[in-house]
């Protein structure tokens, strides 16, 4: 007589099948790494929270509590990860990335620098929420002067969802960080089998696992079951060139252009002693006459004014719709408002605030 399985047995059987599929089906490189005589790469995982570390109802891919899983628990839950590399996990924070802040950025930058200087790791993976991942990655890309791989990874679904994307993403992030091909490429972002540059990547969808896209540049490469495939050679001399400001990052506000826009947002930023203002402008970084007049007045007071665009792709051009030379504005080219803000903060924090010098710094990043 054959007995029926309990719901618990069915669940455990499903987990076992999922683990077997993850470790043996999609990621054949694990076996290759295990069979090699070479020592395994040492990967330091710095956990900050986010959806990848969240828990919730297994039936839901959107309802969850961010930061419910520690970095050690997260790395231990991925089948085959320990065969790919020697893993050490540390908890930097455990927050949703909507709460990401410059204090955590500073902690990450300091710990990464320390780990490489002390030869503690061959590569670093940062687990992070997707909402502000591009900002964290862009900050680190500008301040880390290292040739060793630093990879940010997250997920769009909680760790408890039936269709969780976090385990596969984390495995691939470790694989990328452990690869010699990833050296001298700056900070990288890995999600959904794709390797991205912090400069180009942006979140484009609120729920899709394919949310990270590169509207102006395209991906750097892909991770498939056979190998890591970069689409171009690593650029020569690719290292962050800005120091982490000792006094912290200065206040830089983003103002959003819209129909019927007046000077209220700009006046408020000036009143709150913002050292810089980034315009998320319509079209080619434009705004109403009232807003542009207020921004010009702010620039005359020594506030750095950067024109970006609320449009998802394209470049903001100098002296086309707006006379930047006359008004003292800077253009962000392809940097979206949130990344333009990060670069402006770093420049001002490093003593660069004259419009022409700020513009040269934006020019140099392209």
pLDDT in tens, 96-115: 999 999 999 999 999 999 99
**Are 230 and 195 in contact, with CB atoms under 8 Å apart?**
yes
Contacts of residue 360, defined as CB under 8 A and 6 or more positions apart, other chains included, come to: none
Q: What is the pLDDT of residues 66-95, one digit of tens each?
A: 668 999 999 999 999 999 999 999 999 999
Domain 39-230 has CATH 3.40.50.1170: yes
Q: Is there a binding annotation on residue 97? A: yes
Q: Is there a binding annotation on residue 48? A: no
- What is the spatial distance between Cα 306 and Cα 334, in angstroms, rounded to a whole number? 12
Residue 317, pLDDT > 70, answer yes
Q: What is the pLDDT of residues 130-178, one digit of tens each?
A: 999 999 999 999 999 999 999 999 999 998 888 899 999 999 999 999 9
Q: What is the pLDDT of residues 243-276, one digit of tens each?
A: 999 999 999 999 999 999 999 999 999 999 999 9
Amino acid 84: pLDDT: 95
Burial of 158 (0-12, 13-18, 19+ CB in 10 A): buried
CATH of domain 252-365: 3.40.50.40
Q: Pairing between strand 194-196 and 187-191?
A: antiparallel
Q: What percent of the chain has pLDDT over 70?
A: 86
| 6 flagged as catalytic | no
Burial of 298 (0-12, 13-18, 19+ CB in 10 A): buried
Amino acid 62: pLDDT: 56
Q: What is the pLDDT of residues 187-235, one digit of tens each?
A: 999 999 999 999 999 999 999 999 999 999 999 999 998 899 999 998 8
Amino acid 366: pLDDT: 65
The CATH 3.40.50.1170 domain(s) of the chain lie at: 39-230
Amino acid 26: pLDDT: 40
Catalytic residue among 130, 136, 202, 327: 130
Beta strands in 35-160 (DSSP E): 42-49, 55-56, 64-65, 86-95, 123-127, 150-153
Q: What percent of the chain has pLDDT over 90?
A: 80
Q: Is there a binding annotation on residue 86? A: no
The CATH 3.40.50.40 domain(s) of the chain lie at: 252-365
| 51 flagged as catalytic | yes
Name the pTM for this structure: 0.88
Residue 56, pLDDT > 70, answer no
């Amino acid at each position: 007589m054959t007995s029926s399985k309990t719901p618990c047995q069915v669940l455990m059987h499903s987990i076992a099948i999922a683990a077997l599929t993850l470790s043996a089906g999609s990621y054949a490189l694990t076996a290759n790494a295990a069979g090699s005589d070479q020592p395994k790469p040492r990967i330091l995982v710095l956990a900050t929270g986010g959806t990848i570390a969240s828990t919730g109802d297994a039936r839901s891919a959107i309802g969850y509590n961010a930061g419910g899983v520690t970095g050690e628990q997260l790395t231990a839950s991925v089948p085959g990860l320990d065969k790919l590399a020697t893993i050490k996990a540390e908890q930097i924070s455990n927050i949703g990335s909507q709460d990401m802040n410059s204090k955590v950025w500073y902690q990450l930058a300091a710990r990464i620098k320390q780990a490489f200087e002390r030869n503690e790791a061959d590569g670093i993976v940062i687990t992070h929420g997707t909402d502000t991942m591009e900002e964290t990655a862009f900050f680190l890309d500008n301040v880390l002067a290292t040739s060793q791989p630093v990879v940010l990874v997250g997920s769009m679904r909680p760790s408890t969802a039936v269709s969780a994307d976090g385990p596969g993403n984390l495995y691939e992030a470790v694989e990328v960080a452990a690869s010699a091909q990833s050296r001298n490429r700056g900070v990288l972002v890995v999600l959904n089998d794709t390797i991205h540059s912090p400069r180009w990547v942006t979140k484009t969808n609120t729920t899709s696992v394919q949310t990270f896209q590169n509207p102006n540049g395209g991906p750097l490469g892909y991770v498939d079951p056979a190998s890591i495939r970069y689409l171009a050679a690593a650029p020569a001399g690719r290292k962050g060139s800005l120091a982490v400001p000792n006094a912290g990052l200065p206040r830089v506000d983003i103002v959003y252009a819209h129909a019927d826009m007046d000077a209220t947002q700009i006046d408020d930023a000036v009143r709150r002693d913002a050292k810089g203002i980034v315009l998320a402008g319509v079209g080619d970084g434009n705004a109403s006459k009232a807003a542009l007049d207020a921004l010009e007045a702010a620039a005359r007071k020594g506030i750095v004014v950067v024109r970006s665009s609320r449009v998802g792709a394209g470049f903001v051009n100098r002296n086309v719709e707006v006379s930047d030379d006359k008004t003292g504005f800077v253009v962000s080219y392809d940097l979206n408002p949130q990344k333009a803000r990060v670069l402006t903060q770093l420049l001002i924090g490093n003593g660069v605030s004259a419009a022409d010098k700020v513009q040269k710094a934006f020019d140099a990043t392209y």
